[in-house]
Amino acid sequence: MREPVGVRQAQAQRTRSGVLAAAAAVFVEQGVQAPIRDIAERAGVGIGTIYRNFPTRADLVTAVYRHQIDTCVALAPRLLAESASPFIALTRWVDAFVEFLVTKHGLGAALGSGDPGLENLHTLMLDTLLPAGAMLLEACDAAGEVRPGITAYTLMRAIGNLCITGPDYDQADARHMVATLLAGTRPTPTA
């Protein structure tokens, strides 16, 4: 009765992936506060399976976005190397960041909510995205391309907030306002 090694692990991995895909879809439709049951149904698994793989809601949320976060992080050094100036790199990177936030209904609000259950996600973003953004911002700083006094954390948090969309304030508006915010970080032209 011994099965090929790893068959079970492979099945487990597939279950996990299915849950992540389902969660991503449900989050888009209902936001990250969607009932766990809805995700289980969408994934075609039992509720218990969700809890086994992701004990807390934040674990699930974090896992859902981890891949995209990692992609975003990896982009930073590449943009810095390729772009004509640090600020251009920052701008492009923020575009990617916004793209990520804006397509994830409710994520921005979740981050802004101070919900203690989302500490993990918060931590993840701090530990990974923040250094990426900070690297770019520091490069801008060093090149005198942004006003002093702006911290990467605050800026990214502000961008996150600006990406909380809703009726009458859509993704295009969010992009517009983020661009305006970035414009506001430029040093005041000296006479």
**Which of 41/173 has CB closer to DNA?**
41
**Which of 78/147 has CB closer to its own copies?**
147
Among residues 15, 23, 27, which one has the least CA distance to residue 53? 15
**Which of 134/177 has CB closer to its own copies?**
177
- Which of 5, 81, 84, 183 touches its own copies (CB under 8 A)? 183
Binding-residue total with DNA (CB under 7 A)? 24
Rounded to an integer, what distance in angstroms lies between the CA atom of residue 127 and that of residue 132? 9
Rounded to an integer, what distance in angstroms lies between the CA atom of residue 44 and that of residue 123? 30
Among residues 44, 43, 49, which one has the least CA distance to residue 22? 43
- Which of 12, 16, 150, 171 touches its own copies (CB under 8 A)? 150
144 binds its own copies (CB under 8 A): no
6 binds its own copies (CB under 8 A): no
User: 133, 188 in Cβ contact below 8 A?
Assistant: no
Q: E strand or H helix at 176, and its extent?
A: helix 171-183
The listed partner (DNA, its own copies, none) that binds 79, CB under 5 to 8 Å by sort, is none
What string marks each residue from 47 to 66 as x (binds DNA by CB under 7 A) or -? Answer: xxx-xxx-xxx---------
103 binds its own copies (CB under 8 A): no
Among residues 67, 70, 96, 91, which one has the least CA distance to residue 80? 91
Q: Which residues bind its own copies (CB under 8 A)?
A: 109, 112-114, 149-150, 153-155, 157-158, 161-162, 164-169, 173, 176-177, 179-185, 188-189
Q: Which residues bind DNA (CB under 7 A)?
A: 4, 7-9, 11-12, 15-16, 33, 35-37, 44-49, 51-53, 55-57
